[in-house]
Amino acid sequence: MTPAGSDDPRWDELVENFRTLDQDAPREPSAQEREQQLRKLFNTGPGALPGPRDYQPQDDQEDGGEQFIPEEPPALGSGNPLVNLAWTAAVGGPVGLLLCVILFRSAPTFVYIGLAIAAVLGTAYLLLRLPTERDPGDDGARV
Protein backbone atom coordinates (compact mmCIF):
# COMPACT_ATOMS: atom_id res chain seq x y z
CA MET A 1 0.00 0.00 0.00
CA THR A 2 1.30 3.38 -0.84
CA PRO A 3 0.82 6.38 1.46
CA ALA A 4 -1.41 9.33 0.52
CA GLY A 5 0.24 11.84 -1.78
CA SER A 6 2.16 9.11 -3.57
CA ASP A 7 3.33 9.08 -7.15
CA ASP A 8 0.23 7.30 -8.41
CA PRO A 9 -2.53 9.85 -9.13
CA ARG A 10 -5.08 7.10 -9.77
CA TRP A 11 -4.60 5.76 -6.23
CA ASP A 12 -5.00 9.22 -4.72
CA GLU A 13 -8.23 9.68 -6.65
CA LEU A 14 -9.64 6.38 -5.32
CA VAL A 15 -8.75 7.26 -1.74
CA GLU A 16 -10.39 10.68 -2.07
CA ASN A 17 -13.54 9.08 -3.53
CA PHE A 18 -13.80 6.76 -0.53
CA ARG A 19 -13.47 9.69 1.88
CA THR A 20 -16.31 11.59 0.21
CA LEU A 21 -18.49 8.45 0.07
CA ASP A 22 -18.07 7.97 3.81
CA GLN A 23 -19.16 11.54 4.55
CA ASP A 24 -22.25 11.38 2.33
CA ALA A 25 -23.41 7.97 3.55
CA PRO A 26 -26.83 8.06 5.27
CA ARG A 27 -26.75 7.24 8.94
CA GLU A 28 -29.37 5.45 11.02
CA PRO A 29 -31.56 7.94 12.94
CA SER A 30 -31.52 7.77 16.71
CA ALA A 31 -34.58 6.70 18.69
CA GLN A 32 -35.41 10.28 19.58
CA GLU A 33 -35.15 11.41 15.94
CA ARG A 34 -37.32 8.48 14.83
CA GLU A 35 -39.96 9.36 17.44
CA GLN A 36 -40.02 12.96 16.25
CA GLN A 37 -40.39 11.81 12.64
CA LEU A 38 -43.30 9.56 13.55
CA ARG A 39 -45.03 12.32 15.54
CA LYS A 40 -44.60 14.69 12.62
CA LEU A 41 -45.92 12.08 10.20
CA PHE A 42 -49.01 11.03 12.18
CA ASN A 43 -49.96 14.25 14.00
CA THR A 44 -50.42 16.52 11.01
CA GLY A 45 -52.96 16.88 8.26
CA PRO A 46 -56.56 15.71 8.24
CA GLY A 47 -55.73 12.61 10.31
CA ALA A 48 -54.68 14.69 13.32
CA LEU A 49 -57.96 13.92 15.13
CA PRO A 50 -57.64 11.65 18.16
CA GLY A 51 -58.15 7.97 17.45
CA PRO A 52 -59.60 5.11 19.48
CA ARG A 53 -56.33 4.57 21.33
CA ASP A 54 -56.45 8.14 22.60
CA TYR A 55 -59.79 7.52 24.36
CA GLN A 56 -59.80 7.82 28.13
CA PRO A 57 -63.04 7.01 29.96
CA GLN A 58 -64.45 9.48 32.42
CA ASP A 59 -64.11 8.53 36.05
CA ASP A 60 -67.63 7.89 37.38
CA GLN A 61 -66.51 8.37 40.98
CA GLU A 62 -65.96 12.10 40.39
CA ASP A 63 -69.49 12.51 39.02
CA GLY A 64 -71.09 10.77 41.98
CA GLY A 65 -72.19 7.80 39.81
CA GLU A 66 -72.80 4.39 41.25
CA GLN A 67 -70.17 1.73 40.87
CA PHE A 68 -71.21 -1.84 40.03
CA ILE A 69 -70.27 -4.27 42.79
CA PRO A 70 -71.17 -7.89 42.01
CA GLU A 71 -72.75 -10.00 44.71
CA GLU A 72 -70.56 -12.41 46.61
CA PRO A 73 -70.56 -15.89 44.99
CA PRO A 74 -71.51 -18.81 47.20
CA ALA A 75 -68.80 -21.05 48.64
CA LEU A 76 -67.92 -24.07 46.51
CA GLY A 77 -68.59 -26.84 49.00
CA SER A 78 -71.72 -25.43 50.61
CA GLY A 79 -74.30 -26.93 48.29
CA ASN A 80 -76.57 -29.90 48.58
CA PRO A 81 -74.56 -32.81 50.09
CA LEU A 82 -76.34 -35.31 47.84
CA VAL A 83 -75.22 -33.40 44.74
CA ASN A 84 -71.65 -33.32 46.05
CA LEU A 85 -71.81 -37.09 46.61
CA ALA A 86 -73.18 -37.61 43.09
CA TRP A 87 -70.35 -35.57 41.57
CA THR A 88 -67.82 -37.56 43.60
CA ALA A 89 -69.33 -40.84 42.38
CA ALA A 90 -69.66 -39.70 38.75
CA VAL A 91 -66.03 -38.54 38.57
CA GLY A 92 -64.46 -40.86 41.13
CA GLY A 93 -65.95 -44.06 39.69
CA PRO A 94 -64.15 -43.93 36.32
CA VAL A 95 -60.97 -42.61 37.94
CA GLY A 96 -61.08 -45.43 40.49
CA LEU A 97 -61.65 -48.00 37.73
CA LEU A 98 -58.68 -46.65 35.79
CA LEU A 99 -56.43 -46.74 38.84
CA CYS A 100 -57.55 -50.28 39.69
CA VAL A 101 -56.80 -51.49 36.17
CA ILE A 102 -53.37 -49.86 36.14
CA LEU A 103 -52.17 -50.36 39.72
CA PHE A 104 -54.27 -53.07 41.36
CA ARG A 105 -55.12 -55.69 38.75
CA SER A 106 -55.90 -58.39 41.26
CA ALA A 107 -58.67 -56.36 42.90
CA PRO A 108 -61.80 -58.35 43.73
CA THR A 109 -64.61 -58.27 41.22
CA PHE A 110 -66.99 -56.50 43.60
CA VAL A 111 -64.61 -53.45 43.65
CA TYR A 112 -64.86 -53.12 39.86
CA ILE A 113 -68.63 -53.63 39.91
CA GLY A 114 -69.05 -51.18 42.82
CA LEU A 115 -67.04 -48.45 41.10
CA ALA A 116 -68.97 -48.94 37.86
CA ILE A 117 -72.32 -48.80 39.65
CA ALA A 118 -71.24 -45.69 41.59
CA ALA A 119 -70.27 -43.94 38.33
CA VAL A 120 -73.56 -44.87 36.64
CA LEU A 121 -75.72 -43.88 39.63
CA GLY A 122 -73.90 -40.58 40.17
CA THR A 123 -74.22 -39.64 36.50
CA ALA A 124 -77.89 -40.67 36.41
CA TYR A 125 -78.70 -38.59 39.51
CA LEU A 126 -77.00 -35.52 38.04
CA LEU A 127 -78.85 -35.94 34.75
CA LEU A 128 -82.20 -36.34 36.49
CA ARG A 129 -81.65 -33.11 38.44
CA LEU A 130 -81.32 -31.06 35.26
CA PRO A 131 -84.22 -28.68 34.66
CA THR A 132 -86.78 -30.02 32.20
CA GLU A 133 -88.51 -26.73 31.40
CA ARG A 134 -87.17 -23.33 30.61
CA ASP A 135 -88.27 -20.34 32.66
CA PRO A 136 -90.15 -17.99 30.26
CA GLY A 137 -89.16 -14.92 32.29
CA ASP A 138 -85.45 -15.73 32.13
CA ASP A 139 -83.66 -13.86 29.34
CA GLY A 140 -80.31 -15.56 30.07
CA ALA A 141 -78.55 -12.29 30.85
CA ARG A 142 -77.30 -13.44 34.21
CA VAL A 143 -74.63 -16.12 34.32
Q: What is the pLDDT of residue 108?
A: 93
All residues at 6 or more sequence positions from 97 whose CB lies less than 8 Å from its CB, including other chains: 112, 115, 116, 119
Confidence (pLDDT) at 46 = 57
**Model-level pTM?**
0.44
CB crowding 121-140: b at 16 or more within 10 Å, else e: ebbebeeeeeeeeeeeeeee
What are the sequence ranges of the domains in the chain?
A: 81-129
Phi-psi region of 31 (alpha: psi -120 to 50; beta: other; left: phi over 0): alpha
Give 10-residue mean pLDDT values along the chain (143 residues). Answer: 68 83 72 82 64 69 68 78 92 95 92 96 95 79 70
Give the pLDDT confidence score for residue 126 in this predicted structure: 95
Integer-rounded Cα Rg, in Å, for the chain is: 39
Q: Give me the pLDDT at residue 88, please.
A: 94
